[in-house]
Amino acid sequence: MIDGVVNILKPEGMTSHDVVNKVRKIFHTKKVGHTGTLDPNAVGVSPICIGQGTRLAEYLTDKEKVYKTILNFGRETDTQDISGQPTKETALPSLSREEFSQILTSFVGEIEQIPPMYSAIKKDGQPLYQLARKGISVEIAPRKVVIKDIQLLMYTPQSAMLEIRCGKGTYIRTLCQDIGRACQSSAYMSYLLRTQSGAFKIEDSIPLEKLTQMEHPEEAIIGLNEALKD
C-alpha cells in the first residue's frame, strides 16, 4: 500500500474529481482524495492524498492558499468566470491604479462572500450547480472567509491581474465579481492559477500527464511526515 501525498499540477479542463480518478488508476487504489476543489477552468497546485494520506486531507484543506488571477471588467456571468453566460454589462471603471489599489485593500481581512450558484456546495443534499443547471435559484447564506493579502500585478481599465493569499473556502471568482462591483462596474474571472496550497508549491508540483507516463510514479509520493512539515 502506498501512503502519502502527491503534489499534482492540475491541467485546465479537468475537475478535481477527474484528477482523483486518474490518480486511482495510476496507483491502483481507491483510497485517494483531494484537498480542495479547483474549478475545471483553473490550473495549478492540487495536493492529492493516497492511502493513509487521506487521513491528512482535512488538515491540508485548512491551509493557506495562493492564487494568481485575471479579472476582466465590464461584464458579469452566471458562473462568475469566463465559462459562463453574460448576465450583466456595464461601463468600464474610471479609476487610477492608486484608486483601484485602495479598493483592493478594503477586501483584505475577514470578509463575507455569497458562494456562487455554480459551486459544489450542497443545499438540502443537492449540489448548487445541479440546481443552477435546471434554472433553479435558491437563497445562499453569506460565509465568512479570510483574505490575507492582495497584490496588484497589473491594472488597465479593461482588466487586472492579482496575487491573492487567502484562507479556506474562498471563491476567487466571487471575489473578482465583488471587486468589479466595488469599482462601480462589473467583472468576471478569466484566469486562475493556484501557485501554493499550504506547504505545496507550484515549482515542486508534477504535471498529471508526466505522472501518468512515469515508470515508477511512487517516486513522486511525499511521505506523511514531510506532508505535515508546516
User: Which residues participate in catalysis according to the annotation?
Assistant: 39
User: CB-hemisphere CA count at 13 Å for 2?
Assistant: 22
Hey, which residues does 65 pair with through a beta bridge?
A: 166, 197
Query: Are 148 and 65 in contact, with CB atoms under 8 Å apart?
Result: no
DSSP 3-state of 189? strand
- What is the residue type of 176? C
Sorted by sequence, the CB contacts under 8 Å of residue 23 that are 6+ apart come out as 6, 8, 32, 48, 50, 211
